[in-house]
Structure 1
Amino acid sequence: MGNTKESSAAVLPALMRLPEVEAVTRKRKGAIYLAMSQGTFPKPVRIGGRAVAWKGSSIQAWIDGLEGA
């Protein structure tokens, strides 16, 4: 078996919309936005006039950081 960090990083898309972020992190919208305001969760990038997405690499780094906590 390989390193799970490497294999999980490979499956995350480059950009993730909120439903994908909720599914991967097991956090709901309110918890995500609260953590962002507290500086403990990555902020999204604007991809359109009113649309945002999170970088998959940022979400993966956040997940990896949980493993050390």
Structure 2
Amino acid sequence: MSDLQTTPTDNGMPSDPLAPMFYRMRDVLRMTALSRSSLYRRIAAGNFPPPVSLGGKAKGWRREELEQWAEDPSGFRFMQSCMIRKTRQGARVRQVRL
């Protein structure tokens, strides 16, 4: 038996220090049991942590933020405020305060 076994914590997230620092979409959907559209709706509402860029087109979710969400899914608030402004070129840009 190895000392490096992963044992799930109360929130279902692995407690292994060697667990990945970032999770991809497939893993997040499996861990949360949410559909892709529900996940993106929660991200837009600020009720789920947004993905971060991992380089190129790759996106992933930070393990710490997923663990924080798993502790209290209904009470999680990622964004404190959000303001939409327009650039000189006319593009809409969302500014988020964490």
In structure 2, runs of 5+ residues without a counterpart are 1-8, 77-98
State the TM-score, normalized to the length of structure 1.
0.79
Runs of 4+ residues deviating >4 angstroms = none
Q: Between Structure 1 and Structure 2, which shows a larger proportion of helix residues?
A: 1
> Using the alignment, how far apart are the partners of 2:12 and 2:49 within structure 1?
21
Aligned length: 67
CA-based RMSD of the aligned residues comes to 2.7
Instruction: Report which of the two structures shows the higher radius of gyration computed on alpha carbons.
Output: 2
Give the structure with the larger strand fraction.
2
Which one has more relative contact order, counting CA pairs under 8 Å at least 6 apart? 1
TM-score, normalised to structure 2, is: 0.58
Q: Pick from 50, 63, 66: which aligns with 2:57?
A: 50
